[in-house]
Amino acid sequence: MTVRNRRPFFYLAVAVICILLVLPVITFMINAFAFRWFYPQFIPAEWSLQAWERLQLIPPEGERTLTNWLALLGSSDVIDALVVSLVIGVGVTLFSVVIGLPAARALGMHKFRGKRIVEFMILAPTIVPSIAFVLGLNINFIRWELSGSLFGVALVHLVPVMPYVVLTLSGVFANYNPDFEDQARTLGAGPLRTFWYVTLPAIFPGIVVAALFAFLVSWSQYLLTFLIGAGRVITLPILLFASASGGNNAVIAVMSLIFIAPAILTLLVTSRYLSGESGAVGGFGRI
């Protein structure tokens, strides 16, 4: 197939992506700043920040002083939820990468008895629906007094996060030559400095991608947070689901924008590690 023949498919693909992904975001943007937006208006006739004010993300008009801006930090549910989501997301990311590295190294570099079973067990959370295991987990979490705590929610987020982290990193280790570590050791680097100067630079692109997956998977958890959080851990998705049934389009739009902002930001920052050249996503070739 020549390049010329491929062009129409390329444009078609771009068009589909735009309609599915970009258009809804634009709609959110308009909704978030619309005062009223009725059919058959193409764009709203009146604009306002009323949804932002209602969610206490901006002080009311005429009261936008520094003290009032700062006062929002303590009083806005959305900002509180954003902080909770961030704390859980970052915590889950760090923890999942730290415990995922040894597992990925073992899976990527060694052959051992029962490897297929271990791989399947690690993949299982992507196949088994959350609802199937979380109810059972919930009983134990209540017994261990983890229910309703930040730590408990972070812990349960690890279940759907680990497959992504381990698979991404094991792909990196599959192409990794451990002789580099031996080389560094004989040149005078101890185990810690060998990791810092030799292992880490080699696997860093993979770690970035794994961390990105970990953060996004944790960020978008609803069911697990809802059940294990027991109404006491309010993350953004919990708030978003609640407001989505409220029917105020402007409020839903504002919350959705806030919800997708970190995802888009992290994607932009890490996009160069996602390219095929870095090999960081090689692990998925084996699924």
Partner 1 sequence: MTHVILSNLTKSFPGNPVAAVNTMNLDIPSGQLVAFLGPSGCGKTTTLKMIAGLITPTVGDITFDGASVLAVPPEKRGAVMVFQNYLLFPYMSVGQNVGFGLKMRGVEPKVIDRKVIEMLDLVKLPNIANRRPRQLSGGQQQRVALARALITEPKVLLLDEPLSNLDAHLRDEMRELILSIQRNLGVTMIFVTHDQEEAVLLANQIALIFDGVLQQYAAPDVFYRQPISERAARFFGGINFVPATRRGERLETAFGAFHVRTPGVENAPEGEVTLTIRPEQVVLNPADDENCTSGRIRSRIYVGTYTRYKIMIGDIEIEATRSGDIDHALNEGDAVRVGFPADRIWVVGRS
Binding site for partner 1 (CB under 8 A): 177, 179-180, 182-190, 193, 197-198, 201-202
Nearer to partner 1, 54 or 185 (CB): 185
CB of 198 to partner 1, least distance (A): 6
Helix locations, 187-248, DSSP H: 191-194, 200-219, 223-229, 236-244
Residue 190 vs 246, nearer CB to partner 1: 190
Q: Are strands 46-47 and 34-36 parallel, antiparallel or unpaired?
A: antiparallel
Pairwise CA distance, residues 102 & 97, whole Å: 9
Shortest Å, Cβ 64 to partner 1: 48
Rank residues 75 and 186 by Cβ distance to partner 1 and give the closer one: 186
**Rounded Cα gap, residues 256 and 261, in angstroms:** 8
Cα angle for residues 278, 281, 286 (degrees, 5° grid): 135
| Distance set, CA 285 to CA 129, 187, 203, 222, 276 (Å) | 23, 35, 17, 29, 11
Bond from prior residue into 40 cis (ω within 30 degrees of 0)? yes
Whose Cβ is closer to partner 1: residue 161's or residue 184's?
184
Number of residues assigned to the chain: 287
> Whole-number minimum distance, CB 183 to partner 1, in Å?
5
**What's the closest the beta carbon of residue 204 comes to partner 1, in angstroms?**
9
- Other CB atoms within a 10 A radius of the CB of residue 1 amount to 6
The residue among 45 and 200 lying less far from partner 1, judged by its C-beta, is 200
Q: Which of 25/202 has CB closer to partner 1? A: 202
